Structure 1
C-alpha cells in the first residue's frame, strides 16, 4: 500500500495519540498538537480516506478515530522507528541477573519480571525443553519384574522421567552399574547426540563383546527410543497490569485473559509459534492465539544457544502498546538470556 507523506503523518499522529491515551483521536487534537500546518477540515478528510482503506475506524459517529489492527500492522511494518535502549537501561537489565548463579528457573523468572516491569505489560518466558539441554545424569530404578523407571537429569537441573519395559529382569545393583557407565559416556551431550553416541557405542561393542556393556547399551537405547516426555513450563509476571488497560476493562475480556494465563497451554502454544523464527516477532490482535481475547498484541523473540533455539520470551499487552519501546526491550532481553544460558547449559 502506498500512502502520501501527508497521509503517513496523520496516521502516525492518530496512532501515537491513541497509544498514549487509549481514546479516539479527533482532527482538532491533531491540528493543535502535531504542528502539521493543516486545518482540522483537511485532517478530517484524510482521516476519512484512511478509514475507507481500512487503516482507521470510528468507534462512534461523534468520536474521533482509532487505528484498526490492519492500521497497526501497517504502522509496525512500514512506519515504526524503533528506539534503542539506552546504555543505562541495558546496564540495569544486565545487573538484575547478577547473583542468580546457575539456577535456570530463577534466571527465566527474572527475565519475565524484567519484561513486565520495564514495559508495564505482562512478561512471559517459555522454558527450554529437555531435548534442547545437555544430559548430566541418567538413573534407573527397578519397580518390579521387567519394569524400570528411568530418570533423566540435565546440567541445568531439568528433571524428566519415563517408565520402560525390558526383556530381562535386572537387579538394582546391575542398574546402578549401568547408570555409572552411561554417565561416563553420555554426560554433557544433548538428546540427539545421546542417541547417536549409543549407536556408535553399540557398533564398537559388536567387536569387543562385554555382557554388562551390551545390556547397558540396550537398556539406554530403550530409554531414549521414543524420546523423553516434554513438559513445557512458562513463567508469567505482571498479571495485575491488565487493570491498567481501559480498553480491556470489560469483565468478560478480563475473564478470558486470566483464564488464558491460568491454563497456560494457550500461552505456550502462542510462544511455540516463535520457536522457529529469527529475531523479534509481533502478533497484533487477531494474529495471536489468545482465543476469546480481543485487543491484545504479543511481541516475542527466541533465545538461543549457538544455532539451537532453547525457548521464547515476550511481552503481552494491549494492541496500543508502545511498539517502539517494547520491540527493542524484547530483543535485548532475549540476547542477554541467550548469553547467560550459553555459560550454563
Structure 2
C-alpha cells in the first residue's frame, strides 16, 4: 500500500464512521486535493486488496472488516487524554473508595460513548480477613467477605443443609483473621468452610458493567441481530486471557458486527482488563485513548 492509498483509506474510514454511508470518490478527491482519476485508481487498488467494498446500489465505497482493522491499528499507540483531565480522573478515583471499580467503568463508558466492562481476577488466593454469613433460603447462604487489601466481596453459597444461626456464628468467629486452614468440628461445618473457601479462592473474578444503553443510539441498533449479539457479548462472563498489563488490544469484527477495545490492568495481586464494546464502525481513536488512559489512571501511572 502506498502512502497516498493509506491516506485515502483512512479518510474513507473516518467519513464512514461519521456517516455510515458509502463514500463517493469525489468527496475523497476534494478533501485530499487529488484528481478524481487518481482517487478512482487507488480505490480500485484498495478494493483488490480487500480493504474496501462497493455496494451494488451505490457509487461510493465502504470499509471492509480488513479495512477497519488496518485503520484501528494505525491508531496505536493511543494518544492519552489531556493532562488536566488525567489529574481530575486520578483524584476522582482516589476519592471513590470501595466504589473505585464501579466508577472506573462508569467514567470510561461516558467518555467513550460505548458500553464498558471491567474484569478483575486475583493472581493468588486472597487472604480472608473477615466474613459475615446469613441464610437466604433453604441450603443457600450469603457470604460477605473482607479480603486482604480491604476489598469487600460477596458470594452466594449452596450447601446440602441449612446452617443454624449458631453454626453461622461459629464459622464467622473461627474464620476471623485465621492464618491457617480452620479445622471443622463436624462434616457439616467442613462443608461450610470448604464452600466459603472455594467462593473466594484464586480464579474467582469480579465483573463490572456499564452503559449498554449507549448502543441504542448507534444506527446498527436498528438491527435486532446486532443488539442480541452485543448483549450476549456484554453480559457473558469471560475467563479468556487478559491483555497484558499496560497494553492495549483491538479486536475488530471477531464477533459479527462488533469490535472490542481492551486495556490490560494490574494492581497489587490483581490482573484485569477494561473493555469498550461497539460496532465495527467504532470511533477507534477515541475508544483507544479512553481505555488506555483509564487503565493507566487506575494503575496509578
Matching residue within 210, 224, 230 for 1:252: 224
Aligned counterpart, 2:209: 235
CA distance in 1, matches of 2:260, 2:7: 25
Task: Kindly indicate whether the alpha-carbon contact (under 8 Å) linking 2:251 and 2:260 is maintained by their aligned counterparts in 1.
Answer: yes
Task: Kindly indicate whether the alpha-carbon contact (under 8 Å) linking 1:182 and 1:216 is maintained by their aligned counterparts in 2.
Answer: no
1:283 aligns to 2:222 (yes or no)? no
**1:44 CA drift (Å):** 0.8
Task: Kindly indicate whether the alpha-carbon contact (under 8 Å) linking 1:300 and 1:313 is maintained by their aligned counterparts in 2.
Answer: yes
CA distance in 1, matches of 2:168, 2:57: 76
TM-score by length of 1: 0.68
**1:70 CA drift (Å):** 1.0
CA distance in 1, matches of 2:18, 2:135: 62
Matching residue within 151, 154, 162 for 1:156: 151
Computed over aligned residues only, the root mean square deviation of the Cα atoms, in angstroms, reads 3.8
Task: Kindly indicate whether the alpha-carbon contact (under 8 Å) linking 2:72 and 2:284 is maintained by their aligned counterparts in 1.
Answer: yes
Distance 1:148 1:49, change over 3 A: closer
CA distance in 2, matches of 1:172, 1:256: 44
Aligned counterpart, 1:208: none
Q: Deviations over 1:217-243 (max 9, x none)?
A: 99568733782285864322251x324
Distance 1:54 1:275, change over 3 A: same
Bigger radius of gyration among the two: 1
**1:302 CA drift (Å):** 3.5
Task: Kindly indicate whether the alpha-carbon contact (under 8 Å) linking 1:313 and 1:330 is maintained by their aligned counterparts in 2.
Answer: yes
Distance 1:165 1:51, change over 3 A: same
CA distance in 2, matches of 1:31, 1:115: 36
Gaps of 5+ in 1: 187-196, 202-212, 289-293, 341-345
CA distance in 2, matches of 1:118, 1:237: 11
Question: How many aligned residue pairs are there?
Answer: 290
Q: Deviations over 1:124-170 (max 9, x none)?
A: 33465898654232457799xxx89583513422112434569xxx9
CA distance in 2, matches of 1:44, 1:296: 29
TM-score by length of 2: 0.77
Gaps of 5+ in 2: none
Counterparts of residues 258-269 of structure 1 (less than 5 Å): 260-261=230-231, 266-269=233-236
Counterparts of residues 192-211 of structure 1 (less than 5 Å): 197-198=180-181
CA distance in 2, matches of 1:82, 1:150: 42
CA distance in 2, matches of 1:171, 1:116: 44
Task: Kindly indicate whether the alpha-carbon contact (under 8 Å) linking 1:113 and 1:238 is maintained by their aligned counterparts in 2.
Answer: no
Higher normalized helix content (fraction of residues)? 1
